[in-house]
Structure 1
């Protein structure tokens, strides 16, 4: 474990709850969720089988953000939300503009936003029944600037870095639902190695389109359940039926404690360790014994120099899918088996409240973990009324909990068996 202490000094989040982390925190503490009826723009009527999502509500946009260039430039939806979240994190940190020149920017992003209207420009078909791409090229001027045909996957990372005047490392990460947590973990490691003193890390995603949501539905990942209405996101409940997608972005500012104190900043929490693993099992399902998740948590704890018995809270990946929730519970029991410490842990599933932000998911979850450490408050797992027999931990069901949180673990597990865990600790002035 390095002697260099690394802290979170700025946070920014865009979710279905709004455009500020403060609103996200307050709404989640009161047990609210932002899942609402939803259909893709391209769908006819209510024909699409997935009926609910946690979409960003532009009516909640604060006046001071209405002139943000994200709304006027040709960007994908995910990049708009990510840029705004990054701007918020930078402002929240209080770092002066000249402090960003040598900083690193690490950004996770998901699948590009394909637009059906752009694809249709390839029509009419040729005589062989194939799309005529020469026809598309001839109509290139009609291709919308915010769609995948005119965007690169690293556009958000570059936009943020250019906006801040960063000349340091700029890294784009694409590792599914573990992406934002991996961005933060890699930023932590870069600072610890002495490569940079400051990093902005997180991610953004928006899968609320016919193309990506259709794929998630066909994979069996997205819930098409309707009997619970908007309360269908039910992590660890026996009636859970699949993930409920959200959209948005989240970024945190990481820096050395020495640098933060020198400029008078007050940290939210300290980042203590990072672990990552691969299931090497199946693209769309976790290892049934939870081995990959177990390895990631154990690696993060070793990296932090923290014993399992010191952990007070786990911010679970908690997707509301039949496979993940039972497997993650099993992995937690394995890691925290000594003296059955898993029975004393608090476990919380943030996705029950703001949906699954896919590549961005880990970022707001890290923020909520940091706030739990700072305030000794744990957000609830909502809609948990009938726990699955395989899910028998303390999930803080339906009500926020006031509990001491000195050390917490945040899990993010992605398609393909990509697993990431981060250990956070309550910031204390004295050295650990």
Structure 2
């Protein structure tokens, strides 16, 4: 481990629990989840096979946020949620405009909404008209304001940087479900290398639309289970049947420690390592033995200069899919095999509580991991009643745990074998 120490000094989250990280954290410690019945806006008869999700409830928007510019510009939901989460993180950190001028912004987001609608519009022809530039311009007013032709993937990073006057590097990351974690990991490395002193990193996503949820269902990733009602997201349980999608965003402020202390900030936790790998097994399935996940976790530990036996908690990717949960368990057993340390680890799956935020997933999960390090409290894996025989670790089933957390890993694994692990440590001024 070389370079500057990097700490988290601001948190911001938008999830189905609401628009603050504080509400998310308190509800998760209570063992609540925010999954509820859901159907795409385009389906009015309740016939869509995916019947549950964890959507953001606008009724929970605090009064002071209803004037945020995110609600006044023509933006997709993902960009609105991410911008609000980033604003919360900045406010939480106590930074001012002068502080932010040289900050980097690293953001992850998923695919734009209304892609199919825009494609149909682009390809549709009037009698005697080809799908040329002039033809498209004549129909521009019919393009959805939140669609792919008006909302590039980097829109979120740009609006955040512009809003706060950030003149440092602005980076958009597109790496599926590992995206937000990779944004945070890359920001951490930039600060540690001395490229910047301050970064705003995270991501936002919303796949709760007919196009994307239809694709996830056809790929066999999203569950259509009905028998458990809203309790159908059950990582590591033998009755798990697929992911339950959520939406929202999360951002953290990362800062060089000496800079944070000089301005009187109190860190939540220290980021000490980042690991990434590509197992390249299948586009929609992990290596059955968890090889890529194990490589990412080991890389994060090596980067941090940590021994596996120093780890107390793993915030698992934990998707509630038949393939991921077994592969991740095997990966944990591989990395923490010495003296069977895996039997002493606490493992928690946040997606059981706020769903799978896809490209954004890693950001609120890093926030939860940082809070676990600070408060020595671990959120539960809910709906875990009959563990799979191949999932035999301590998953903190159904209730929060009071336990010392000095070191934790937060895992995020994406389609295509994109694996990321971040190592966090309880903040102590001297090391």
Q: Same fold, TM exceeding 0.5?
A: yes
Q: Deviations over 1:241-294 (max 9, x none)?
A: 000000000000000110000000000000010000001211100001111000
Distance change (3 Å), C-alpha of 1:97 and 1:385: same
**Which residue number in structure 2 is paired with residue 51 of structure 1?**
51
Shift of 1:144: 2.5
User: Partner residue of 2:384?
Assistant: 384
Partner of 2:173: 173
Residue 122 of structure 1, CA deviation:
5.5
Equivalent residue of 1:327, what SS?
Answer: helix
* CA separation of 1:199 and 1:46: change in aligned 2, threshold 3 A: same
Deviation at 1:125, TM superposition (A): 5.7
Give how far 1:139 is off: 2.1
1:274 aligned counterpart, secondary structure: strand
CA distance in 1, matches of 2:119, 2:307: 53
Asked if structure 2 preserves the Cα contact closer than 8 Å seen for 1:202 and 1:251, the reply is yes
Higher mean alpha-carbon deviation, 107-116 vs 10-19, is at: 107-116
Structure 1 counterpart of 2:359: 359
Shift of 1:131: 8.5
Q: Check the 8 A contact 2:3/2:193 in 1, yes or no.
A: no
Partner of 2:417: 417
Over 3 Å counting, the alpha-carbon distance change for 1:95 and 1:122 in structure 2 is closer
Count of equivalent residues: 430
CA contact (8 A) 1:122 1:134 kept: no
User: How far apart are residue 126 of structure 1 and its match?
Assistant: 6.4
Contact 1:121-1:135 within 8 A present in 2 as well: no
Q: Is the 8 A contact 1:236 1:391 kept in 2?
A: yes
1:270 and 2:275 matched: no
Contact 2:29/2:380 (CA < 8 Å) preserved in 1? yes
CA–CA distance in 2 between the matches of 1:160 and 1:336? 39
Q: Quote how far apart the aligned CAs of 1:133 are.
A: 9.0
Task: Give the Cα–Cα distance (whole angstroms) in 1 for the partners of residues 270 and 399 of structure 2.
Answer: 26
Distance in 1, Cα, partners of 2:310 & 2:141:
59
Looking at structure 1, the residues matched to 49 and 380 of structure 2 have their Cα atoms a distance apart, in angstroms, of 28
Q: Once the 2 structures are TM-superposed, how far is the Cα of residue 118 of structure 1 from its aligned partner?
A: 4.6
Paired residues of 2:114 and 2:146 also in contact (CA < 8 A)? no
The residue that corresponds to 2:342 in the other structure is: 342
Q: Give the 5 Å matches for 1:191-230.
A: 191-230=191-230
Equivalent in the alignment of 1:320: 320
> Contact 1:236–1:387 at 8 Å: present in 2 too?
yes
Provide, for residues 314-357 of structure 1, a one-character-per-residue CA deviation record: whole Å limited to 9, x for no partner. 00000000000000000000000000000000000000000000
Larger deviation, residues 38-47 vs 317-326: 38-47
Q: Residue 69 of structure 2 aligns with which residue?
A: 69
Query: Structure 1 132/232 Cα, relative in aligned 2: closer, same or farther at 3 Å?
Result: farther
Residue number in structure 1 paired with 2:149: 149
Distance in 1 (CA, whole Å) between partners of 2:362 and 2:393 is 21
What is the rounded CA distance, in whole Å, between the counterparts of 1:132 and 1:96 in structure 2? Answer: 47
Q: CA deviation at 1:140?
A: 1.3
| Structure 2 alignment gaps of length 5 or more | none
Contact 1:114 1:149 in 2 (8 A): no
Q: CA deviation at 1:44?
A: 3.3
Distance 1:88 1:397 in 2: 30
